[in-house]
Amino acid sequence: MLHNKKCPYEAFLELISYNSEEEYSNGAFSQPYYHYSCHLAVNLEFDGFEVCAWVGDVVEETGQDTFKSTPFSYAIGDESTKVRASLEAATYQYSSADQSLPRYLAKINYQEPTAAEDNNYTGSDPDGLNFFGRLSRSYFMHAVLHDWPNAEAIQILTHTKNAMTKDYSKLFIYDIVVPPTGASISQTTMDVQMISLLSASERTKSQWEELLSSAGFKIVKFWPDPQEYEMLIEAEVA
């Protein structure tokens, strides 16, 4: 349903029985799954309204192959609001929460893994793989480096570079690239979250260039996202 009067964050805090900022055991950030769900739901904007999608239960993976319902949905699969049509128009970026449901997992013959190298999905090949294995053609990171301050991000990138082959391997980073002006509420909200939770931050183009250069990379191109939220950064060993 559309909310243009009551702050959706207030409704969310009521949902998780948030009491006060002094009570660390029941604070706004004490339940990160709910917090992330709230972020995804309340920051979708359509026609000037914030969309707060209360669309029933969504599956939460709480442990290895175990699930429980949660009362707060992050809008995926909503049939009753503009969220549904908007997500369908952006299927290249969003995936349906239904793909986590037990009925979906049963359909593709999913089995509980007993070892990292087990192949759990019929028709695909998610066998165990060392990301830093050598001689791969491409290396892909989505929303990884924004979780880390520069020192740790450089360490991750350096290990990746050491596994790559110059003039052959490519590094693709799909992450937020903050514009110098006019950043969206989603981008700035995520920036505040990274600062407050992880002592990290979202990065501008110049900051990405400096970070990758420090790890021995050169950026080939910033590929824009039509949603204007993230970009695909193509890089190679300098």
The model's pLDDT over 86-141, given as tens digits with 9 standing for 90+, comes to: 444 444 333 444 444 566 556 656 665 555 455 444 444 444 456 667 777 888 88
Render pLDDT for 164-206 as a digit per residue (tens, 0 to 9).
889 988 898 989 999 988 888 888 888 988 888 888 899 999 9
The answer on pLDDT for 238 being more than 90 is yes
pLDDT score, position 110: 60
Are 142 and 93 part of one and the same domain?
no
**Is residue 132 in a domain?**
no
**Is residue 61 in a domain?**
yes
pTM: 0.52
Distance CA 149, CA 202 (A): 10
Rounded mean pLDDT of 64-90? 39
Are 93 and 150 part of one and the same domain?
no
**Is residue 122 in a domain?**
no
Q: How many domains does the chain have?
A: 2
Residue 87: domain span: 2-97
Are 18 and 73 part of one and the same domain?
yes
Are 214 and 148 part of one and the same domain?
yes
Nearest to 178 by CA among 196, 162, 194, 157: 194
Neighbours of 126 (CB within 10 A): 12
**Is residue 60 in a domain?**
yes
Q: What is the CATH number of the domain that holds 227?
A: 3.40.50.150
- Tokens found for residue 224: 């824009």
Are 171 and 233 part of one and the same domain?
yes
DSSP assigned state of 100: G
Q: Give yes or no for a contact between 61 and 36, defined as CB atoms under 8 angstroms apart.
A: no
Q: How many Cα atoms within 13 Å fall on the side-chain side of residue 27?
A: 7
**Is residue 227 in a domain?**
yes
**Is residue 91 in a domain?**
yes
